């Protein structure tokens, strides 16, 4: 029979391999000893277990109540038997009986072993659940331990006990990995199975692209720039919509990086997959125009009830807006969350479109209408702060909102909502009169400081050649 020192050594090795702390070690050992005592003395046994790691000893003492008539041998002892040890024992006293490890039989030791193993497994499952339940969407690394039936079994670098897999449907099928290769993937979800939690990773989900940008772009890590929406067809194309909480930081430029260094790192990890980076907007019509990049959209009309956008493009832009096999409009629809119907200018006129077909070029239109809320007379600083907290920073962001939309913002009273609507009416009436006098011009360049953008990357949804002029949709 193993002594207490050997048992402590074995348990200590177990905790090192299973990453358990000292308190858990003591709890596991005490629980196992109580299971062995219960196996030998009955379920009502009472005992004290004292573990001294410095001396390598375990002291076990049974606690039995002195009674006149014994009904439970596991927790009681007769007064005659107690007085055989010490004549001073009285009924109701507590008798301490030392227990030596040699007294444990094989069945008792097996019960202790099973209890310890069970506790270790439960502890592992709890730690995995607590560690990863809040880390969905994070990029983690490991190595491929096994490839079985199309799925990749991973061995994580910092939590090797966790069961982690990349199912076949969550892989980029243009990529090929071998056993032992390092790999990075995003945690998509934590599944509960009869054997405990299972970590499901992905390299095909849009979350993977977002996690890569978070790794490469410090502004995203700091929470200044956010990826508000993403749509992906794995191995082919991804669109992301970005938003900046700081007006002085261009979200698209931050994601592209100097000479495209940041976005190129993401493109390389994705095996050359094309990435379109567009600004996010609270206005669904403006957002749809940006999302359809690299095509230039002439006009958009929205139907909020049906959540549908009708986009009109020039004849030479139609194929670009649709994309190969409808990919561009499909990703734009997924990015915005609205159904997008595309029409060429001729088709729109044949359908009886009576609205002015082509708006001014995007650079002109935005220059006239994109006024910062803080620069609008009549809006108090408190109201501007509430609107900016809700994601509305310019006149373009609020121009199509209804009174109820403002009332849903915390801190906007009905009177204030009416005043905002009145200000918007005044400004849009003035701009409508000025719009007819505006002359056609060229759109502005893309964000300053972005530099040359690598091939396969479309900031602001443009499709300009490398180093060429890009028309801003901002």
Residue 47: give its domain's CATH number: 3.30.1480
Enumerate residues 6+ apart whose C-beta is below 8 A from 126.
Answer: none
Q: How many residues are present in the chain?
A: 474
Is 468 in a helix, a strand, or coil?
A: coil
Q: For residue 12, what are the contacts with CB-CB under 8 A and spacing of at least 6?
A: 25, 53
Stated pTM of the model: 0.60
Q: Please say if the pLDDT value at position 96 is more than 90.
A: no
Give 214-221 contacts, CB < 8 A, sequence gap 24+: 214/139, 215/139, 216/257, 216/262, 216/263, 216/265, 216/266, 217/254, 217/255, 217/257, 217/262, 219/244, 219/249, 219/251, 219/254, 220/254, 220/255
Q: In the prediction, which pLDDT does 332 show? A: 94
Residues 347 and 397 in one domain: no
Same domain, 319 and 249: yes
Closest residue by Cα to residue 38 from 10, 60, 8, 69: 60
CB 52 within 8 A of CB 59: yes
Of 86-90, 101-105, 134-138, 180-184, the least confident: 101-105
Indicate the pLDDT class of residue 7, thresholds 50, 70 and 90.
Answer: low
351-410, pLDDT tens digit by residue?
766 444 444 444 444 444 457 787 777 788 888 888 888 778 887 778 777 788 788 888
Task: Give the highest mean pLDDT range of 76-80, 275-279, 411-415.
Answer: 275-279
> 407 lies in which domain range?
363-435
For residues 137-147, average pLDDT: 91
Beta pairing, strands 57-67 & 94-99 = antiparallel
| pLDDT at residue 168 greater than cutoff 80 | yes
Whether residue 111 is found in the same domain as residue 12: yes
**Statement to judge: residues 213 and 145 lie in one domain:** no
With a cut of 60, say whether residue 465 has pLDDT above it: no
**How distant is the alpha carbon of residue 223 from its chain centre?**
14
Predicted local confidence at residue 418, as pLDDT: 85
Flag the least confident range among 162-176, 238-252, 306-320, 377-391: 377-391
Instruction: Average the pLDDT over 6-29 and give the result.
Output: 65
Does residue 280 share a domain with residue 367?
no
pLDDT at 130 over 60: yes
Same domain (yes/no): 30, 87 = yes
Domain count, the chain: 4
Query: 108 pLDDT band (50/70/90 cuts)?
Result: low
17 — pLDDT class (breaks 50, 70, 90): low
Burial of 360 (0-12, 13-18, 19+ CB in 10 A): middle
The answer to whether residue 443 is domain-embedded is: no
User: Does 147 fall in a domain?
Assistant: yes
pLDDT at 245: 92
Residue 117 above 50 pLDDT? yes
Is residue 153, in this structure, part of any structural domain at all? yes
pLDDT at 222: 93
Token pair of 291, please? 């999302």
Residue among 98, 162, 89, 153 nearest 126 (CA): 162
Find out whether 144 and 153 touch, Cβ atoms under 8 Å. yes
> Residue 392 phi/psi, 5° resolution?
-105, 115
pLDDT value of residue 410: 81
Based on the fold, state whether residues 177 and 312 are members of the same structural domain: no
Final residue in a domain of this structure, among 123, 141, 157: 123
Burial of 13 (0-12, 13-18, 19+ CB in 10 A): exposed
pLDDT at 157 over 50: yes
Report whether pLDDT(433) > 80.
no
Same domain, yes or no, for 219 and 356? yes
The residue with greater pLDDT, 340 or 69, is: 340
**Which residue matches tokens 């005043």?**
419
Q: Average the pLDDT over 211-221 and give the result.
A: 94
| Statement to judge: residues 308 and 192 lie in one domain | no
Q: Give the tens place of pLDDT for each residue, 284-320.
A: 999 999 999 888 898 899 899 999 999 999 988 888 8
pLDDT: which is higher, 373 or 265 = 265
Query: Which CATH number goes with the domain that contains 368?
Result: 1.10.150.20
Q: What is the mean pLDDT of residues 311-331?
A: 90
Q: What is the CATH number of the domain that holds 167?
A: 2.40.50.140
Please check whether residues 89 and 27 belong to one and the same domain: yes
At residue 435 the predicted structure's pLDDT band, cuts being 50, 70 and 90, is: very low
């Amino acid at each position: 029979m193993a002594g207490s020192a050997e048992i402590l050594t074995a348990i200590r090795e177990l905790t090192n391999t299973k990453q358990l702390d000292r308190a858990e070690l003591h709890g596991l050992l005490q629980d196992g000893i109580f299971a062995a005592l219960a196996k030998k003395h009955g379920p009502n046994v009472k005992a004290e277990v004292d573990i001294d790691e410095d001396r390598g000893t375990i002291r076990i003492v049974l606690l039995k109540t002195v009674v006149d008539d014994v009904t439970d041998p596991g927790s009681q002892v007769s007064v005659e038997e107690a007085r055989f040890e010490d004549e001073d024992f009285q009924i109701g006293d507590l008798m301490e009986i030392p227990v030596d490890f040699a007294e444990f039989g094989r069945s008792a030791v097996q019960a202790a072993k099973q209890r310890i193993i069970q506790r270790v497994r439960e502890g592992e499952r709890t730690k995995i659940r607590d560690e990863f339940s809040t880390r969905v969407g994070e990029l983690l690394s490991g190595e491929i331990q096994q490839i079985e039936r199309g799925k990749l079994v991973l061995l994580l670098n910092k939590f090797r006990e966790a069961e982690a897999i990349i199912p076949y449907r969550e892989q980029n099928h243009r990529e090929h990995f071998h056993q032992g290769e390092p790999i990075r993937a995003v945690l998509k979800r934590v599944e509960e199975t009869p054997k405990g939690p299972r970590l499901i990773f992905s390299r095909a989900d849009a979350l993977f692209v977002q996690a890569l940008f978070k790794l490469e772009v410090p502004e995203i890590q700091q929470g200044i720039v956010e990826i508000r929406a993403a749509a992906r067809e794995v191995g082919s194309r991804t669109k992301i919509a970005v938003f900046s909480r700081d007006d002085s930081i261009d979200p698209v430029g931050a994601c592209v990086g100097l000479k495209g260094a940041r976005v190129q790192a993401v493109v390389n990890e994705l095996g050359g997959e094309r990435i379109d980076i567009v600004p996010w907007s609270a206005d669904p019509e403006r957002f749809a125009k940006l999302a359809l990049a690299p095509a230039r959209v002439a006009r958009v009309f929205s139907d909020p009830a049906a959540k549908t956008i009708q986009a009109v493009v020039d004849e030479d832009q139609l194929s670009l807006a649709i994309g190969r096999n409808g990919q561009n409009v499909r990703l734009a629809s997924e990015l915005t969350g609205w159904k997008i119907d595309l029409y060429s200018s001729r088709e729109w006129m044949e359908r009886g479109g009576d609205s002015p077909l082509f708006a001014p070029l995007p650079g002109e239109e935005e220059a006239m209408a994109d006024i910062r809320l803080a620069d609008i007379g009549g809006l108090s600083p408190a109201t501007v702060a509430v609107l900016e907290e809700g994601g509305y920073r310019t006149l373009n962001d609020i121009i199509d909102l209804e009174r109820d939309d403002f009332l849903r913002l915390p801190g906007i009273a009905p009177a204030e909502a009416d005043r905002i609507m009145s200000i918007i009416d005044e400004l849009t009436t003035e701009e409508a009169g000025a719009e007819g006098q505006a002359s056609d011009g060229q759109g502005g360049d893309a964000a300053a400081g972005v530099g040359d953008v690598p091939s396969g990357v479309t900031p602001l949804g443009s499709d300009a050649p490398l180093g060429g002029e890009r028309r801003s949709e901002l």
